[in-house]
Amino acid sequence: MGKVLSFEELAELEKIALDTAVLPFGQRLAAFMDYRHWTPLRFTQYTNLDGALYSKLRSGRRKRPDMRTIIAICVGLRLPLHIVEDLLRSAGMAFSSSWEHRAYRYVIMMMNQREVK
């Protein structure tokens, strides 16, 4: 992954978002994790969340995590803001105008501009 999302990578993420638009949140999230070839170890490395959560999300035992968890996963996946907002809607959530949600939006936008190793 480079410094910013390439046009090709963005197009692929857009395709995944469009192809999974009618699926439940968990299946949509799984499609993005598959695109990044995430394993429980990579999930933990990129999100700083417990690998057990990865297994729960993949198996469907955890239907919908809280917003902080979703944001951590989306930042780890390097999803653009408009796709994150779409995923949140599919989970029955949305950003508000609160300072916390503005901070989430800022982090999402800035994380897509950093170099990933």
Q: What is the pLDDT of residues 11-42, one digit of tens each?
A: 999 999 999 999 999 899 999 999 999 999 99
Give domain status of residue 11, yes or no: yes
Give domain status of residue 35, yes or no: yes
pLDDT score recorded for residue 1: 42
State the total domains in the chain: 1
Instruction: Provide the domain limits for residue 69.
Output: 7-111
3-state SS, one letter per residue, for the chain: CCCCCCHHHHHHHHHHHHHCCCCCHHHHHHHHHHHCCCCHHHHHHHHCCCHHHHHHHHHCCCCCCCHHHHHHHHHHHCCCHHHHHHHHHHCCCCCCCCHHHHHHHHHHHHHCCCCCC
Give domain status of residue 90, yes or no: yes
> The whole model's pTM is what?
0.89
Give domain status of residue 29, yes or no: yes
Give domain status of residue 2, yes or no: no
pLDDT score recorded for residue 117: 46
